[in-house]
Homo-oligomer: A and B are copies of this chain.
Amino acid sequence: MSLTMVERLLEERKSDYLQQLFALLKQKSISTTNEGVRECAELLLEMMQSCGIQSRLMETAGHPVVYGEWLKAENTFTVLIYGHYDVQPPDPVEEWQSPPFEPTIREGRIYCRGVGDNKGQLMAQVLAIKTYLDSFGELPVNVKLLFEGEEENSSPHLAAFVAEHKELLACDLVYTSDGPMHGSGIPSVELGVRGILGVEMIAYGAKWDHHSGNMGNIAPNPAWMLIDLLRTMRDEHGRVLIEGFYDNIRKPTAYELDLFRKLPFDRNELIEQIGYPDIEEDSETYYRQVSLEPTFNICGFHSGYGGDGSKTIIPAKASVKMDIRLVIDQDPDDIFQKLCSHVRKYAPSINVLHQGDMRPSRTSAELEIVKVVVEGVGNAYGIDPLLVPGVGGSLPDYVWTQILGVPSVMVPYANADEANHAPNENMVVELFYKGISCTCHVLHQLGEFSKKKNDL
């Protein structure tokens, strides 16, 4: 069965599909501040139902899951498609060239908060199912869809949800489209993510701000307290000094290292993409640092006056927010305990808050099902995709590999410079359509694989 029909239908419906995406984009769904999240879930539910997917909202202890399924395939193979409908806050809003929640097309790109991360990729999957169903009246394999509303807040309730609904979610493969494509523009099939531990550390000085002259050298300065603590946690080369932080890091296999070395790398392109000239990494260091090594990132540090001019105070409070990316087999609980012990030792008066975490994941690159997906993606884009053992970002991929116990592959549909989490987030319009096509091709290839297995 060829996919010419699917491609023709997609071509005809481009403008209609774009309108559907825009409708979802306009609906805010900022999970960290709880703006419009449920409204967005309800809108997505309607859209999925109108695409022929039997769908429902399922409650969690936080924002709802939108679950859908189509289970009438002739074979028993089931793929579960995962994505998220929540988005990051749009700050700093003043740096957006068009309002963050008004989708705007400029030079072939859609600019909007959440377009790449993850609404554009999510809608590509939903619309692929519609296109496939409208082309053939059926899908080549059984499909389940699970879209959560808390991914940008570290998916605090997904693991419990999956554990609770293991039977409902039972499948042979999990398929996720999220994150940016490789910088080379070549599609990729990714097999693991870094985990994450989010913490906030708050230092309190006096009960209120003080005049820095009248109380200077007397009232304590919490910004200095935090800096003094942070300097005990990390040396100036970036090495983390918390005891045991690097324990349990699993060495990559020879095959994985080989795959890493085969990945394209263009330093000038990377420099352009990052917007920073002093990038000294070569291919191997780059991939090793970005996917096999943990980070110790400050994502926010705030204390005292930040407006124009100056305000001569001793601040009463200082806060640092950190997101620490973890690699397999670091355990967020273990790392959090080690961090707390460190703080107790060096600055016991500083409060440590746990903001969320996610375990790292890895699927073996040597599985047959991985090769099937690679083939489907290759057919869609007309080029062999890159096979990537691990990427730098964090997704709750471990809930599939560890809780459901199935392989999990990630095939990002958004451009490498999508600026996810940043101002002027965008997605190339053609890549949105290509994503729809890709999901169709992967479903098709999975169908062929299942037929062959049934035949044996």
Contact = CB atoms under 8 A, between A and B. Distances in A.
A297 interface: yes
A230 interface: yes
Contacts of A215: 274, 290, 392
Interface in A161-212: 179-180, 193-194, 196, 198, 200, 205-212
A298 interface: yes
A392 B216 CA distance: 7
B224 A298 contact: yes
A216 B297 contact: yes
B301 A212 contact: no
Interface stretch (A36-44, A45-53, A315-323): A315-323
A99 interface: no
Nearest to A234: B224
Contacts of A310: 32, 153-154, 198, 200, 299-300, 321, 323, 355-356
Contacts of A274: 206-207, 210, 215, 218-219
A173 to B, nearest CB: 23
A213 B325 contact: yes
Contacts of A153: 309-310
B212 A323 contact: yes
A95 B207 CA distance: 12
Interface of A is mostly: loop
A88 interface: yes
A313 to B, nearest CB: 5
A311 to B, nearest CB: 6
Interface string A85-105: 000110100010000000000
Given A208-B275, A323-B312, A295 B421 contact: no
Contacts of A375: none
Interface in A254-289: 270, 274-276, 278-279, 281, 286, 289
Contacts of A309: 31-33, 153, 355
A299 B304 contact: yes
Contacts of A300: 303-306, 310-311, 315
Interface in A391-434: 391-394, 419-424
Given A196-B213, A419-B208, A314 B289 contact: no
A374 to B, nearest CB: 22
A314 B305 CA distance: 21
A207 B210 CA distance: 35
Contact of A214 (B180, B308, B314): B180
B394 A213 contact: yes
B321 A209 contact: no
A307 interface: yes
A59 interface: no
A92 to B, nearest CB: 8
Given A210-B422, A218-B286, A223 B301 contact: yes
Interface in A328-359: 355-356
Given A215-B290, A274-B218, A393-B213, A299 B318 contact: no
A380 to B, nearest CB: 23
A212 B299 contact: yes
A384 interface: no
17 contacts: A194-B213, A196-B213, A207-B275, A208-B275, A211-B422, A212-B299, A213-B392, A213-B393, A215-B392, A275-B316, A297-B312, A299-B314, A301-B302, A301-B304, A302-B306, A306-B321, A312-B323
Given A200-B310, A213-B325, A214-B391, 15 more contacts: A153-B309, A206-B276, A207-B275, A209-B423, A211-B422, A216-B290, A218-B270, A218-B274, A227-B231, A228-B236, A231-B236, A299-B312, A300-B310, A301-B301, A313-B422
Interface of A: 31-33, 88-89, 91, 95, 153-154, 179-180, 193-194, 196, 198, 200, 205-221, 223-224, 227-228, 230-231, 234, 236, 238, 270, 274-276, 278-279, 281, 286, 289-290, 293, 295, 297-316, 318-319, 321, 323, 325, 355-356, 391-394, 419-424
Q: Which 4 A-B pairs have the closest CB atoms?
A: A207-B275, A32-B309, A213-B393, A216-B295
